Each structure stands twice: as structure tokens, then as C-alpha cells.
Structure 1
């Protein structure tokens, strides 16, 4: 197996128009070199925080249950002190819209940094590459191992690598599924081989997907499967920060001695060491310009800065920069597109917070009996209804049930007491006490509320049917 050598990428830049990016040439596996630096440390810090949240949150308890749990069987999403029901899924849509506009805002401001620092695909790919390093060695050793014939040493190294990959994939899958199945039951069942079939299948599927995506597909997911890589270039403008090579400073490239007067030789600061290529997880040469494959992880920035330090040159030959700043112009931070996304994002967040605060913690659903009407012992026309009441809070609630309209009387329990999360179906009858010859159908309104809790109230309209010209 040979290392992939990327071909030159041509970037077409037309002021005022989106950039068209051409993907790199397909090839063999990419072997990255180990490196250190500021942006690597930032990525490790961010990944560490994400790991703590992802792997640790499911183990937290809240009021005797798992703090964060999407109970699909009961149709409830518990998140600490709140419980969300299918009726609240509009809030989930709002969260997705907010996330989308947040991604747009970040893309216009700083390019594809989400991909480089926080995307699960990139983060898990770095973990799998770390597993390669500790089992097969650094870049040059892995290249030699690829080219070497099969032997016991190669078999053991490859076996150890895939064992770590499978272990990480399994732990990841269990952590993911534990947000839908109580984690303690899931782990205990898997360890004793007594887990339910459904969760076991999902663990196997998700582990397989993690193993394939982070271990085998890697940058192919970012390039061919992720839709963001396809439309992200249209989000950029001349002020967007991207990982960029300063060609005016770096060209012409060429090797030289550390203390040589390279300017006399007509050389720039780039010593053509290809370290920026060797550390890139997508195998591109950042010196060829902005490319579709670049995930803005900053690995090439760290590698180049380390080389510049060794040569005694100024850092920043490869750096986060905009097209305007590379031309020596001032960056425009406040620009229409960025301000527009920012404004929409602020409005959406404000609307979400308001909707969350106004969310009713009781749900009322009214179903009218299919029988048109009946006459009661008092000679009044009655309609029958079934009221479905859901206590969406995490406390015991006592509700008052009422009916709007002076010409109607409600017969049934005037108060209901429901346990946390309880669903109760209660039959009621409504009698027409003041007949009207003007209409045979009437609109009525059922109400339910907890007088001591302003957030626990709901109102639903229904139809009352009486004989024509009664």
C-alpha cells in the first residue's frame, strides 16, 4: 500500500462570488506524523471536555432516575429537571435550526473550525490515529509496515491496532445507546450476556459504524459523505478566516542551511520540508491554496511553526488568515452576511428561551364520543367526551377541570390528581342547559389548570352537537 500524494488543487477566486473548490485526487491510506503545538493542545482540550460530557452525562442521576434519558417506549425525553413529550418536539426542531444557523455563523467567521475541533468524525479519527501510533509506530514506521510482507510482528501490531479500534467503538456505542436505554441496566446486561435484543442490536450497529467511519473511511466521510463539505465553500467570503499559506512570504521554496543567506539565493521562508503535508489528516498540501479537503484543524500551522522556530524564522508562514489579510488589507469583522446570521441566531435563541419558559407542564387532549348526542334524565341534550390529561412535570399535580360557556354544564370529576409523568383518561359528559334554535353545533372549550402553578394550564376546543332546531 502506498501513501497518497495529493495533486495540486486549483482555487478560482472571483470577488463577490463563492469560491469553487476542487477535491484532491483519490489514493491510498494517509499516514500522519506526530506533532505538537498550540492548536493541537486546544483540540485536545476541547475533545477532553466533549468526552467527559458524552461518556459521563449518562451516569448522572436526578430524582431517582437517569438525568438524561430519551425513553422512546414512554415517549418522554428527560433532561435533568425537565421532561419533554412528543407535543414538545417543536422545541427539538428549534434546537436544530439554532444549531444550523450557529454553524453558518461560525463558517462565515472562521471557516470549517467545527470540523477540525468539535466534529465527532474528526475527533474519533484522531483517537484511531493515536491507536495506530502506539501499535504500529510513527509515520515512517507505518509506511514501512504497509510495504513489508506479512509476518508475526506485522500481524501482532495490526491485531493490537484493530483490537483498540474495536474496543473504542464498543465503548462509544454503549455510551450512545445509554441515552436511550438506562445505562446501568444496559451495561449490566451486556456484561452478563443478558441484555435485551433491541439495545444489543443497536450497540452492534453503532459500534460497526464507528469502527468503519473512524478507522477505515476517515477523510472520505468528510469529503464524500458529509453534506457540509459540499456547501461550506459558498459560506466563505474574502474576510473568512481559514488555514492559509502565505505565498508572498514563502515562495520560492527550497532547502537551505539554517544560517544561510537564503534571500540572496532568491528563496522564501518555506524550506519545502513537507511537514505541513505529513501531519494533515486529509493528506492535502496547504501550499496549493484553499481546498475542499481542508477541515481547518490547524495541524499544518503547528507543524510549520515548529519548523520556523528551528530555522529561526518568524512564525505564521501557515496560519489562520483571510484572503484580505493575506493581501495586506484590514479584515472587516462586521459584514452583512455575518451580521445577518448573528441576528437570526440571537432571535432564534431568544424565541427558544421564551417558548421554553411558556411551555405548559400539562397536556389536555379531548376526544368526542362517536355517538351524536343523547337525552339525559332531566331532558337535556348531552354529549360524551374522553379527556386525556398528561402531567408533564416531575411533581405530583392537582388540577381543576372546567368548561367555558354558561349554557353548558360539565359532569365529571372537577379535580384530578396525577403523579409525575402520569397519563389519565377521564370520561366527561356535557349537557346543553340553554337550547338555541339558531345552530345545531356549538364550540366548547375545556380547561385544565393548577391554581398554584402558572405553567400547568391548557385549553382545548371541541364541538357539541344537538338536534336541529332543538
Structure 2
């Protein structure tokens, strides 16, 4: 019996490298991506969707409500206004719920339809396409831009490049002014900026975000998506075999190769050719410069540009569309896609729960906050008429946007006397400080340390009564 274990030589491992097509070997645009314009339903939808998104972004800070900017995230005053709702640092839980909901909504959409956020809603993608559109207007189509960059600098090249970069800077500046206008009154910002009276931090923010927008959308472009954005790195964790992504059908497309339009599909099958004619248009229209035919890649932002380009070619060749399409790995393998699955249901349940918590927080939110600070210099004092007196400082925060009147009262002490204003007026969004004293006959005290309740009550914007009851202690000896 042979007890020797056969040993296999693993020092010579044949590594399979993906073959490069003829275009990838010759095309110098692989170092710099020259995005080709494409027409199709997905591209039309993306453009209109982007137009609506940019329009809302530019319009929202100009909306007015009750004579004020409707949405203003005033960091200096620590006050975030959303129409009739004003949030303060004490309402940080509401902002936390909003961010949590946004995160789980992104997870849910990604699990279902891949990186459609990146392809259709991400500001980086929207502004990049906007800058590419301006680039085409001044420098021409893809091949014209490639030839222009290879030419030596002359007057024609100078004015085209100069006007392109000037238009980029103008768009970037308007974008920055609008963005900063969410954090400072936008009407004053525009006026002060163009008459050079803007404060240091406002001016710094405007110029900082201007050059960030200009650099990101004009120069870095796909680098933001492929190397800087963390979402590109971890989004694959949320994918599964039933996630809809932009995919190439290799069973139908391979083997690739050029052919005449007159060549029948039966003849192509006899030659071993698939429907892909290797025109390379799917690569030329890709904003990140990938070849979707190599399979799912983390650089793909699911914009669908290659889908429109390929469908256009298929129509011209007389082939069925859908060689590149939104589909799932399961469906490409001949299986049935399961829309309702545990991961997607889990995200949906958590998302619904988070939305419920946010709605509950908003509905139960009281637009009034009261803080009580005892006088620490003297725990108590005795008055000339024999009463025991404690001094408190009330900080009343009016979280609404309207002037409110509040009544102050004390519960828990028999025959007490409240010294100070028992009715105060507080402007919307202000903190009112009111010192009050509570005096009582010592014979009416049950102990030397007695719990009392200071009640502040008023009427909210809808005419409903609001009341805040804050407990504190009355001390004696």
C-alpha cells in the first residue's frame, strides 16, 4: 500500500486577465474620460429629473413664511427653521431621526435598484452632467474635444477653453451662493456679496464651496465616485442576486464582433457571433469610463447611459433591445427575481418604524422649554415678616415663531407667595430670563426640603393650551 500523498505543484498558477478590446488598447481617452452625448428615455428622464432637482435647490431658500425665510439653518443662532417648525439644539433627536431615515431609505433603494441615487439624484452626478453639457456647447462633441486637446494652443482653442471655464465658475459661484443661503439669509447674502460687504465667514464659505464645485464637477468628476465617495465602497454589501442593476447579457451578446446590417442572425450564430457588435458606445457614454460588458463593477453608478446607447444600436441593427438593461443576476441566469425578500422587507420595516418615531416626536413636541436654576449663593433667606424665601432663575425658551404670553405659578406649597412677574411675554425664538422668589410661612412647610412644581403655561399658534411643569426643591435650614 502506497502511503505517499501526491503533491501538486502550485508554483505555476495561470492567472486569467480580462482581454482588452481593440478600442481600449488604442483609445487615449482611457486616461481622461471624454463622455459622449447619448439620447434615449433614461437620459431624458435623468435630465428632467436633474432639472427639477436643481430648480428646487435654487428655489427653496427664496421661499418666505410669516415674513421670514421659510427654511433657514442658522448655525450662529443655533436655530433651524422649517416653515412653522423651529428646531433648537434641544431638538437634536429630531435631526437624528431625519438622518437615520435618510440612511435607511438609501439602504432600501440600493437593495432594490442598486446605485440609482448616484445615477439620478446625487449632486455630484447632476453638476458633472451640467458641466459636461457646457463643455459640449463650447468645445463640441466627444471626438471634437479629443482633437481640440491634442491641438497646440491657438486663439480658437483659447477662447473655447476660456469661456468654458468661465461658465463653470459662474455656475459654481451661483451654486455656492445658493448653498450658503440655506445657512444665512439669502437675500442679504446676494446683495452683500456683490457690493463686497459680506462678513468674513460668509465670504469664505462662498468662495470655498465655489472652488469645491468647480473642482469636483469640472476636473475631478468620476474620481469623486470611484476613489473618494465612501458609498461606492460599501454599497456592494447591500447588493444581492435580486438587486436590479445595469447589466450586460453575455449569453446573448457573446461573441462580440463587427458585422454588416444585412447579415442575418442565423448567419451570425453560425459564425459564433452574438448581438454585440463591439461598437464601444457603451464605454464612450459612461461617465466613469467603465466597460459594462466586463460585469458588475463598483464604479458603475446605474445612470443607464449605456442602456440608451446600446438600445439605439440594437434598433439600427434590427435586433431586440435589452442587450444591456436593468435586470438582476438571478434573471440573467434564467431564474425568477424575488422582489419581496427578507433583506428588503427588513429595511422597509425599520424605515417605517423610524418614520413613525419621527412623526411621534413632531406631534408630541412642546414649543416651550423651561429651565430652572436655583440661587447657589444663598440656599434660603428669612424675610422681615418671618417668611422663608427661595430664589430661582427661570429660563423660558419660546420654540415657536410668534410672540407668546406665559403665566407662571407654583404648586406644592400651601399659602405661598410668588414674588416677581407671574406673566411674561417672549418673542418667537428667544430665551427669556426671569428671576422669581417663592416665600412661605415656615409653619406651612412639611419638611426642610420640600418638592415643588413651577408651572409655565400659555397658548400655542393653533390656539391650544401648552403647559410645562418643572420640579424643583424648596429648602429651609
* TM-score strictly above 0.5: yes
Q: Which residue does 1:424 correspond to in 2?
A: 432
Aligned with 2:399 (options 379, 392, 401): 392
Q: For residues 82 and 343 of structure 1, what CA distance do their matches in structure 2 show?
A: 27
| Aligned-residue offset at 1:191 | 2.0
Q: Judging changes above 3 Å, is the alpha-carbon distance between structure 1 residues 233 and 435 closer, same or farther for their aligned structure 2 residues?
A: farther
Mapped partners of 1:148, 1:325: distance in 2: 48
> Aligned equivalents of 1:375 and 1:298: distance in 2?
80
| Aligned residue in 2 for 1:341 | 347
Query: Is 1:461 equivalent to 2:468 in the alignment?
Result: no
1-structure distance, mates of 2:153, 2:369: 65
Cα distance in structure 2, aligned partners of 1:50 and 1:443: 55
Paired position in structure 2 for 1:215: 218
SS of the aligned residue for 1:449 comes to: strand
Moved more, 406-415 or 293-302: 406-415
Using the alignment, how far apart are the partners of 1:133 and 1:456 within structure 2? 60
Residues 271 and 27 of structure 1: is their aligned pair in 2 closer, same or farther, counting only changes over 3 Å? closer
Matches of 2:371 and 2:59, distance apart in 1? 37
How many residues were matched structurally?
Answer: 446
Change (3 A) 1:198 1:451: closer
Length-normalised TM-score, structure 2:
0.89
Alignment of 1:85-104 (within 5 A): 85-104=88-107
Q: Which residue is 1:447 aligned to? A: 455
Q: What is the Cα deviation at residue 380 of structure 1? A: 3.2
Q: Structure 2 CA distance, aligned partners of 1:451 and 1:34?
A: 59
What is the TM-score with the length of structure 1 in the denominator? 0.90
Shift of the 153–357 alpha-carbon distance from structure 1 to 2, 3 Å rule, reads same
Distance 1:116 1:335 in 2: 24
Asked if the contact 1:39/1:302 (under 8 Å) is kept, the reply is yes
Residue of structure 1 equivalent to 2:163? 160
Q: Mean Cα displacement is larger for which, 59-68 or 206-215?
A: 59-68
Alignment map for 1:232-271 (pairs within 5 Å): 232-261=235-264, 262-271=268-277
Distance 1:455 1:215 in 2: 55
Distance 1:352 1:455, change over 3 A: farther
- In the alignment, which residue of structure 2 is the partner of 1:402? 409
Deviation at 1:237, TM superposition (A): 0.6
CA contact (8 A) 1:403 1:444 kept: yes
C-alpha separation in 1, matches of 2:328 and 2:455: 58
CA contact (8 A) 2:413 2:452 kept: no
Asked if the contact 1:361/1:455 (under 8 Å) is kept, the reply is no
Cα distance in 2, alignment partners of residues 339 and 72 from structure 1: 38
Preserved CA contact (<8 Å) 2:409 2:454:
yes
State the match for 1:21 in structure 2.
Answer: none
- Pair 277,179 (structure 1): closer, same or farther in 2 beyond 3 Å: same
Other structure's SS at 2:269 match: coil
* Counterpart for residue 194 of structure 1: 197
CA distance 1:380–1:294, shift in 2 (3 Å):
same
Mark the runs of 5 or more structure 2 residues left unpaired by the alignment.
Answer: 1-16, 20-28
Give the alignment's Cα RMSD to 1 decimal. 2.1
Task: Please give the per-residue CA displacement for 1:205-238, whole angstroms capped at 9, x wherever unaligned.
Answer: 0101111111111111112211111110000011
1:448 shift after superposition: 1.4
